[in-house]
């Protein structure tokens, strides 16, 4: 050692510090990679990404290699620093040189490289993988032994390295990802993606048309009345029943009925020959399941029944699609029972579905209870209100306009009241 010049020792020390900084930056860079972007780059055959992905498949081996190289470089740097200190200042200089080395290592070997790697993980991790992968093969026996000893120690404390987290996103985490991606995903697409995530939490009961609003063909009526109803119908498919919707016999495609009319062959008997069998679904079916069922059954309309088999309403494929993409442009707000007044308030049909109302108006009315506006108001008041009664729902003043048959037929909803300022907010007052 006495024959080695100081310049060579200083050069070796600098080289060892660079090696240690490389391993520090590589560790942070590889472990900071976005796993989903990494998988996308792997599918695109990005070489650096492929190498990084192979390294991260066995993180215990990767960490073992990095720590092995880092400790080796740091310990050797301490030894070289000690030799340099003895040559220059003797034994008293060891403490000074060690202190300086600690500060230099902390700043230049640990903090700075790891900070850069955390900010730009791909720029560090991908090039580093070209060096780490061959090193892992060369040092595999030592790394394997270290991994075996480490895994054995972890098992003593109840950890199972084989059961490591696979970075699966929950629904709420995926929702957060979509919300945070506003810079690259248009707002309309964001809303659609979030609506798809909500399909599992919404059932057909939440969006169905109530039974008292179902338009259908009553076969007990005369043929002329049936023809007039078919001609004026706004729907392409209608339930067919005898006297009451509980006695439903099938679903009629209006186009087929009008074709029979053109052939002068429209009668109750001919209608019964072209109707299709009724498709029943339970009221608690999640929308995402019902969407798949519609696709498998080649259906577009279904009757919703409760646990006793009684018909509660009707649901269509269009209703489910509107939960994803919003109202179709061919459906005006007025057709949904919403009419804007000159003072900015809205006259609303009490039978309107709350989810539909929220979607059309952008309101936050609660949807975890009654499904209709009438049901929501009655639940809040705990009684059948008289016309003129007012209440507040989700900061929206609501006035009862018309009540009939123990249900609210029409209500007037005003714009949302302004929120009072919080105590910590400054209030500017002009005198």
Residues above pLDDT 90, as percent of the chain: 34
Global pTM reads 0.63
169 in a domain, yes or no?
A: no
Contacts of 64 (CB under 8 A, 6+ apart): 143, 146, 147, 150
The answer to whether residue 263 scores a pLDDT higher than 90 is: no
Strand order in the sheet with 237-242: 217-218, 237-242, 244-253
Domain final residue pick, 325, 346, 366: 325
Kindly state whether residues 391 and 255 are assigned to the same domain.
no
Domain final residue pick, 302, 325, 348: 325
Kindly state whether residues 342 and 404 are assigned to the same domain.
yes
- Can you give the CATH number for the domain in which 283 is found? 3.10.580.10
Kindly state whether residues 316 and 360 are assigned to the same domain.
no
Give pLDDT, residue 431: 33
237-242 and 244-253 beta bridge pairing? antiparallel
Kindly state whether residues 153 and 14 are assigned to the same domain.
yes
DSSP state of 309: S
The 10 Å Cβ neighbour count of residue 248 is 19
196 in a domain, yes or no?
A: no
The 10 Å Cβ neighbour count of residue 290 is 24
Contact 323, 199 (CB under 8 A): yes
C-alpha span between 370 and 70 (Å, rounded): 63
260 in a domain, yes or no?
A: yes
Contacts of 91 (CB under 8 A, 6+ apart): none
Contact 200, 288 (CB under 8 A): yes
Three-class DSSP labels, 135-156: HHHHCHHHHHHHHHHHHHHHHH
389 in a domain, yes or no?
A: yes
C-alpha span between 202 and 286 (Å, rounded): 6
426 in a domain, yes or no?
A: no
Residue 18: pLDDT band with limits 50, 70, 90: very high
424 in a domain, yes or no?
A: no
Kindly state whether residues 209 and 338 are assigned to the same domain.
no
Number of domains in the chain: 3
The answer to whether residue 421 scores a pLDDT higher than 70 is: no
Give pLDDT, residue 166: 53
Greatest extent of the chain over all pairs of C-alpha atoms, in Å: 118
* Token duo for residue 334: 């007025």
- Can you give the CATH number for the domain in which 344 is found? 3.30.465.10
User: Could you give the count of Cα atoms lying within 13 Å of 171 in the half-sphere of its Cβ?
Assistant: 9
Strand partners, 217: 240
Give pLDDT, residue 314: 95
C-alpha span between 152 and 131 (Å, rounded): 28
Three-class DSSP labels, 32-44: CCCHHHHHHHHHC
Contact 367, 358 (CB under 8 A): yes
Strand partners, 281: 304
Q: Of the ranges 228-237, 291-300, 332-341, 364-373, which one carries the lowest mean pLDDT score?
A: 332-341
* Token duo for residue 419: 């929120």
Specify the residue for token string 């055959």: 45
Residue 427: pLDDT band with limits 50, 70, 90: very low
Averaged pLDDT score across all residues of the chain: 85
Kindly state whether residues 223 and 246 are assigned to the same domain.
yes
Give pLDDT tens digits for 116-161.
Answer: 999 999 999 999 999 999 998 888 888 888 778 877 777 887 776 6
Domain final residue pick, 294, 325, 356: 325
Kindly state whether residues 112 and 209 are assigned to the same domain.
no
Q: Of the ranges 100-114, 133-147, 155-169, 330-344, which one carries the lowest mean pLDDT score?
A: 155-169
301-305 and 280-282 beta bridge pairing? parallel
The 10 Å Cβ neighbour count of residue 265 is 10
Contact 13, 77 (CB under 8 A): yes
C-alpha span between 257 and 107 (Å, rounded): 83
* Token duo for residue 243: 């006297």
Kindly state whether residues 249 and 265 are assigned to the same domain.
yes
Kindly state whether residues 300 and 348 are assigned to the same domain.
no
Kindly state whether residues 248 and 276 are assigned to the same domain.
yes
C-alpha span between 71 and 75 (Å, rounded): 6
Domain that holds residue 67: 6-163
- Say which residue, 250 or 83, is predicted with more confidence: 250
184 in a domain, yes or no?
A: no
Residue among 360, 424, 365, 425 at smallest CA distance from 394: 365
Contact 30, 122 (CB under 8 A): no
The answer to whether residue 428 scores a pLDDT higher than 60 is: no
Give pLDDT, residue 293: 94
Kindly state whether residues 113 and 230 are assigned to the same domain.
no
193 in a domain, yes or no?
A: no
Give pLDDT, residue 419: 58
Residue among 68, 72, 70 at smallest CA distance from 25: 70
Specify the residue for token string 């590589």: 26
Consecutive H or E run containing 411: strand 407-413
The answer to whether residue 422 scores a pLDDT higher than 60 is: no
Contact 367, 353 (CB under 8 A): no
Kindly state whether residues 263 and 375 are assigned to the same domain.
no
């Amino acid at each position: 050692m006495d024959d080695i010049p100081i310049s060579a020792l200083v050069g070796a020390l600098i080289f060892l510090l660079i090696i240690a900084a490389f391993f520090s930056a590589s560790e942070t860079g590889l472990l900071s990679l976005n796993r989903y972007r990494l998988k996308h780059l792997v599918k695109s055959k990005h070489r650096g990404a492929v190498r990084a992905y192979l390294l991260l498949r066995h993180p215990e081996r990767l960490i073992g290699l990095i720590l092995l190289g880092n400790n080796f470089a740091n310990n050797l740097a301490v030894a070289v620093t000690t030799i340099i200190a003895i040559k220059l200042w003797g034994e008293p200089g060891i403490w000074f040189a060690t202190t300086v080395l600690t500060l230099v290592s902390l700043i230049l070997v640990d903090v700075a490289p790891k900070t850069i790697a955390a900010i730009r993980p791909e720029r560090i991790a991908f090039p580093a993988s070209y060096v780490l992968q061959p090193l892992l093969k060369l040092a595999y026996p030592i790394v394997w032994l270290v991994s075996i000893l480490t895994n054995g120690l972890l098992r003593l404390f109840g950890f199972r390295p084989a059961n490591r987290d696979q970075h699966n996103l929950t629904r709420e985490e995926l929702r957060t990802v979509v919300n945070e991606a506003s810079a690259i995903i248009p707002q309309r697409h964001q809303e659609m993606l979030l609506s798809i995530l909500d399909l599992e939490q919404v059932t057909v009961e939440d969006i169905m048309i109530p039974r008292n609003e179902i338009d259908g063909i009553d076969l007990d009526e005369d043929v002329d009345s049936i023809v007039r109803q078919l001609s004026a119908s706004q729907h392409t498919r209608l339930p067919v029943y005898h006297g009451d919707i509980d006695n439903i016999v099938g679903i009629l495609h209006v186009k087929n009925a009008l074709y029979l009319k053109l052939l002068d062959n429209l009668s109750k008997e001919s209608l019964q020959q072209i109707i299709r069998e009724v498709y029943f679904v339970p009221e608690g079916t999640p929308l995402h399941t019902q969407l798949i069922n519609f696709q498998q059954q080649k259906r577009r309309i279904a009757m919703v029944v409760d646990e006793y088999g009684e018909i509660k309403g009707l649901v269509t494929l269009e209703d489910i699609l509107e939960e994803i993409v919003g109202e179709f442009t061919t459906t005006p707000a007025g057709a949904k029972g919403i009419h804007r007044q000159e003072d900015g308030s809205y006259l609303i049909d009490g039978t309107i579905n709350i989810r539909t109302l929220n979607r059309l108006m952008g309101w936050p009315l609660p949807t975890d209870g009654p499904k209709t506006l009438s049901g929501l108001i009655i639940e809040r008041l705990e009684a059948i209100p008289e016309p003129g009664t007012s209440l507040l729902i989700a900061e929206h003043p609501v006035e009862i306009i018309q009540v009939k048959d123990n249900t609210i037929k029409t209500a007037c909803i005003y714009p949302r009241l302004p929120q009072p300022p919080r105590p910590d907010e400054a209030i500017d007052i002009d005198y």
